[in-house]
Amino acid sequence: MTSPGDASPSSNLNTTIASLATPEGVGGLAVIRISGPDAYLVAQNLCEKEKIKPRYALYTPFRSPVGLEIDSGVLTYFPAPHSYTGEDVVELSCHGGFVVSTELLEACYSFGCVVAQPGEFTRRAFLNGKMDLCQAEAVADVIMSESSAGKDANYKILSGKFSTLILRLKQSLFDLVSKLEGELDFTEDEITPIPTIKKRALVFDVLSQTKDVLSTYSTGKMLQRGALIAFVGKPNVGKSSLLNAILSEERTIVSETPGTTRDAVEVPFLINNFPVRLVDTAGIRRPDDAVEGLGMGFTHQYLEKADLVLNVIDLSLPKNTVEKEIKTFNCSKPVIHVLNKSDLLNNGTKKAWGSKSLGVATTSALQGDGVKNLIKFIYRNLVDRPSLSGGLVLTNSRHKLSLGSVASSLERALFIIDSNDSPEILSVELRDAVSHLDQILGLTSVDEILDNIFSKFCVGK
């Protein structure tokens, strides 16, 4: 009999694994998942039945190795290969809580199961050909999504749309490589060479599609981690008040004293199901002490990392001063100039700043005026990124690195074609591009890569 301690970080498909598939703790139900060659035998022992109908919800008592009834619940048997892992799989639905699930798992271990490692069920699904590697990674990403928009992007990958694109790009390149290598083996009398213009057009088309997908990564990163939005500006312009107005609650200290915010305050938020992280930073000025200087150091760090910057300006200042602050604000990131304290102006002066062509938003954090319009402005800025309107969005850094390598190989291939260099060198670059596409799908993955990927999963998935 195999003990739970014998489980290895690398999947051994000869073992039968078991774990809790629902979160630990008190709840109405718990689900235990079993997968492997002895899953059916373990199920027979648990419910003391000789035959169990496949894909049928069987209500039955669950018994320990000595015949004591632990609980009653629903047992479902999924025979290979028509299961999540591609192996025999059994799922037990029992009462929730710590005791019942623990006793049932102990019974499973006594009947020959070993403890499942993090991500081992999905890893087995990959190893058994039920899904490719990018789909397997998307399983964890869907589970960990913090917004509907992020879930939708990851589910497109899980459903195979990204894999279909990668396979199509790979097939185009592979066909070209086959023809090029055929030209090397046969004379012009035996095979018609591919015209240079056709070779270039094919490589350029694959490169363009690759770059289109790569261009969505900034959006994908925001969907995974939340778009970082930094509130910056001079002291006492109302940055903290504005953040509180957006959140509709007081999350940061508001004071008339300049320099109150000395450290960056980061708050997660959803704008129309788009995840953002709002950061209230220290006011930009000459620091009065070392602590305030550190706070402004954090401000500059957030400016470098931000996906969007809100440059908050005191609108009660003279108009030429406000215009100067807008024009002289130097930042490489997308910026919205937020002219705050509009409640201090008369209606005529407010209208002067109402033009959208200025690229500004006018608000009164104190009275809440213009805050809803600012939120809409922020959302439009974030969603006006590539492929957020329904196409594929690249969310995984491993995929991004591999596609970057594909693009580099194809750019070198175009240079070789334009230079009329040897077909052998062109074939090498194209094969390199194909190899990087294979890495995305997991066709050339090594155990170290798999261990790193699946170690980040929760146990039971």
Residues 356-381 pLDDT 10s: 445 688 899 889 889 999 999 998 88
Position 173 pLDDT exceeds 90: yes
Residues 193-232 pLDDT 10s: 788 899 999 999 999 999 999 999 988 888 888 899 999 9
Q: Which residue has tokens 């964890």?
A: 140
Q: Which residue has tokens 């319009």?
A: 373
Is pTM, for the whole model, over 0.75?
A: yes
Query: Where in 122-235 does DSSP place strands (E)?
Result: 227-232
Asked which of 42-46, 233-237, 280-284 is least confident by mean pLDDT, the reply is 280-284
Using pLDDT thresholds of 50, 70 and 90, give the confidence band for residue 265: confident
Q: What's the CA gap between 95 and 121, in Å, rounded?
A: 22
Q: What's the CA gap between 382 and 271, in Å, rounded?
A: 10
Q: Comparing C-alpha atoms, which of 152, 219, 215 is closest to residue 384?
A: 219
Give yes or no for a contact between 98 and 25, defined as CB atoms under 8 angstroms apart: yes
Q: What's the CA gap between 292 and 44, in Å, rounded?
A: 68
CA distances from 445 to 77, 134, 418, 438 (A): 31, 11, 33, 8
Task: List, in order of start, the domains of the chain with CATH numbers.
Answer: 4-130 (3.30.1360.120), 138-216+394-442 (1.20.120.430), 228-383 (3.40.50.300)
Q: What's the CA gap between 145 and 224, in Å, rounded?
A: 7
Per-residue model confidence (pLDDT) at position 290: 42
